[in-house]
Amino acid sequence: MGEFVRLEVADGVATIRLDRPKMNALDRQMQEEIRAAAAEATEREDVKAVVVYGGERVFAAGADIKEMAAMSYTDMVQRSGGLQSAFTAVARIPKPVVAAVTGYALGGGCELALCADVRFAAEDATLGQPEILLGIIPGAGGTQRLTRLVGPSTAKDIIFTGRFVKADEALRIGLVDRVVPAAEVYEQAVAWAGQFAGAATYALRAAKEAVDRGSEVDLETGLEIERQQFAALFATRDRSTGMTSFMESGPGKARFEGA
């Protein structure tokens, strides 16, 4: 358990909890603790899905600008790869991941939310990539993941202007997937994650891998990724359990063991 990031597990759902008052500024230590939490969530067999949460008031308002302002070009050359890979560790968790966004998710905070499979936002949440206002650009995946999510024109508008995106617009453009009252964000995120507690673990992993890796390649290669993942699931006990249950009892009644 890190100083500012901890992994809390209950009923098959892990919460990666950001807790660096006041605004969860993502300094180097916090980035590395996020990496460690993502690795633990990946490895633990009792974790079936993950929620990324910054608390009731704020998700993460961005990088630690005081720390960043003191860095030189050579400092950032050395650090930028670690920054990106810490966030990518969340994106590569082979389980469903939901970001529960309250308050601000700006800069690195928005980039962290983009690493989740889905995003639930409070009605008063604010997202954005305001790095351009500091004379830089997003450096933890924002130019890439935001573009893939909302399209190049919308991503360029958000990144070029550095403007803030309110929850209603974020929902309209596909930046978030659900907008709910602030008091319900975490609860609804946990409920969404909780539905996978008894799911077919390796089928979920294969589905996520096929979608994520397939989106990075041409259609023919993507179809081959899907074919391999599909065929491989016939080696799992859950595949046998699911099909037997379907034939005997109809759909949706299988009790999977995650193997």
Residue 210 annotated in active site: no
CA gap 53, 189 in Å, rounded = 9
Which of 108, 109, 128, 141 is labelled catalytic? Answer: 108
51: left (phi over 0), alpha (psi -120 to 50) or beta: beta
Catalytic residue of the set 99, 105, 111, 210: 111
Q: Which tokens is 142 given? A: 């924002």
Q: Whole-angstrom Cα distance, residue 188 to residue 86? A: 26
CB atoms under 10 Å from CB of 242, counted, come to 20
d(CA 103, CA 173) in angstroms, rounded, equals: 19
Helices and strands (H, E) in the chain, number of each type: 11, 9
Q: Give the start-end residues of each E strand in the chain.
A: 5-10, 13-18, 49-53, 97-101, 104-106, 118-122, 126-128, 164-166, 178-180
89, 103, 131, 210: the catalytic one is 131
DSSP 13: E
Integer CA distances (angstroms), 9 to 14, 86, 163, 236, in order = 4, 21, 36, 26
From 63, 100, 125, 193, the catalytic residue: 63
- Annotated catalytic, 131? yes
Coil, strand or helix: which one is 53? strand
Please say if 248 is a catalytic residue.
Answer: no
- Clarify whether 111 is annotated catalytic: yes
Catalytic site residues? 63, 108, 111, 131
